[in-house]
Amino acid sequence: MNADIFTFFLSFFLIILANQNTIMITDIQFQNELQLIIQNAIQEDVGDGDHSSLACIPVSAEGKAKLLVKDKGIIAGVAFAKMIFEFVDSSLKLEIFIQDGEEVNYGDVVFVVSGSSQSILKAERLVLNSMQRMSAIATKTKSYVDLLQGTTAKILDTRKTTPGFRACEKWAVKIGGGENHRFALYDMIMLKDNHNDFAGGITNAINKTKNYLKQNNKDLKIIVEARNLDEIKEILQNEGIHRILIDNFNFEDTKVAVALIGNKCQTESSGNINENTIRRYAECGVNYISSGALTHSVYNMDLSLKAVE
């Protein structure tokens, strides 16, 4: 991995680690996740060889291709595309015109890749699949961020991600201006309704969690989900709660919940969050709003990789 990509990732994680909702995943861990995504995807797509290219493109042939935008939104995945090209063939050259997070329109050229024609073709589908989805996520996230302008609420993603592609999808949320929730099950405690029910109630779940963390010498933040105002009150009787997840509340009850919680811990709204409701939930005074729609309900941005003569 060259120096500029490494610097980008390091800066990316220093920003994350400065946030209140810290993701306990290191820079090296994240890079490893990305490398695994690339390795597995190339194996899945190429197998024992790209026989279409091998059959009709000479090994010595060299060419160029441009990443063409056929849509409108926020571009994401440029740095990841560079990683893919380097993984497939380190001799490929990339000339970048538009960076991650910038707005794009129909007809824009994001970059031009040059080098071995066979290598460009081998990397093409993974680059497009990744950038199309990441750009869609970044675009949707940016639209939600814009809807929150003037409020103090921040938009969070969730674990409702594509299996095997989570690192890229959460990266895309950051590119779109959103915040990352926990990365996985291991870096934050979230006691949801099933945890509380299986543990014999909210207080039992919280006490057992505190004992578990102490016994295993783990320092993880605790988020507890509430389904109604009575559960909000019960959670508030316990110390050491980082955030209360106000789940599937209507607007009026959300306002009451925020008033009850005050400054005792952070607040987060979830459930029924969409373009029509997000602003009203933000105006209830919550600190965060989480939406699985950022990653599970997007339509890929239309991009293509076209040979340049």
Residues assigned a catalytic role = 125, 160, 192, 225, 247
User: What's the CA gap between 6 and 73, in Å, rounded?
Assistant: 26
Q: Strands (DSSP E) along the chain, which ranges?
A: 62-69, 73-74, 93-96, 103-104, 109-116, 154-156, 189-191, 222-226, 243-247, 266-270, 288-290, 303-308
Is the distance from CB of 294 to CB of 132 less than 8 angstroms?
A: no
- Taking CA atoms, 83 is separated from 1, 70, 90, 122, 291, in Å, by 7, 23, 9, 14, 29
What would the DSSP string read from start to end of 52-82?
HHHHHS-TT-EEEEEEEE-S-EE---HHHHH
